[in-house]
């Protein structure tokens, strides 16, 4: 398993080759087997292929256009061009999966401390699900990209998804058309502090 963790890459170039449904289902099963806080399993997966994916991309386009006029994320305006590039990657991938938190609160709703902790715990669970999906995809010979730029089209994509819950991420899936090198990682010496009690 450590080799899959070390070898996995985020893929931003996909081949024009359909992914068999059985492989998509294996990736989704891996996500559904993730550990979750209080076993809430706070996930729902919307799989978009073909015309449905085109419709999803149109929602993304509407959101990016609206973000230029009336931003949901005014402090992140500098990253909008990155979101436009992400949209190009989503168009290239044969499969795009929206990861929805059906227990999530709307972004603009103030949360009390207990609700905030609940959201944090669910986010940890969802992160584990997406990581499982990434590793399973790699193990099956597929590439994937965990996408957070969808927040630039949050409202539009939530409308596309049916409006209930909270959009957590998108997940592009397909056969890799590139073999990127590993990205630099911080050494353990810089990120780990040992406390032995002495």
| d(C-alpha 129, C-alpha 135), whole Å | 10
Q: What is the pLDDT of residue 73?
A: 86
Beta strand ranges found along 11-131 (DSSP E): 44-48, 95-101
**pLDDT tens-place string over residues 139-148:** 999 999 999 9
Q: Is the dihedral of CA 8, 180, 50, 106 positive or negative?
A: positive
Q: What is the mean pLDDT of residues 26-54?
A: 97
pTM (predicted TM-score):
0.94
pLDDT tens column, 96-131: 999 999 999 888 889 999 999 999 999 999 999 999
Q: Are the beta carbons of 4 and 138 closer than 8 angstroms?
A: yes
Q: What is the CATH topology of the domain spanning 13-178?
A: NADH Oxidase (3.40.109)
């Amino acid at each position: 398993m450590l080799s899959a963790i070390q070898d996995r890459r985020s893929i931003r170039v996909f081949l024009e080759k359909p992914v068999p449904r059985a492989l998509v289902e294996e990736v989704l099963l891996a996500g559904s087997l993730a550990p979750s806080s209080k076993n809430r399993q706070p996930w729902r997966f919307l799989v978009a292929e073909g015309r449905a994916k085109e419709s999803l991309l149109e929602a993304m386009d509407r959101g990016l256009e609206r973000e230029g006029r009336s931003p949901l994320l005014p402090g992140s305006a500098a990253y909008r061009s990155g979101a436009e590039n992400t949209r190009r990657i989503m168009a290239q991938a044969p499969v795009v999966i929206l990861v929805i938190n059906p227990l999530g609160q709307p972004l603009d709703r103030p949360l009390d401390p207990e609700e905030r902790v609940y959201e944090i715990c669910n986010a940890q669970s969802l992160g584990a699900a997406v990581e499982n999906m990434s590793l399973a995809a790699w193990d099956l010979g597929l590439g994937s990209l965990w996408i957070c730029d969808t927040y630039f089209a949050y409202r539009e994509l939530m409308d596309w998804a049916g409006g209930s819950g909270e959009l957590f991420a998108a997940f592009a899936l397909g056969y890799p058309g590139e073999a990127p090198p590993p990205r630099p990682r911080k050494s353990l010496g810089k990120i780990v502090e040992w406390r032995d009690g002495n």
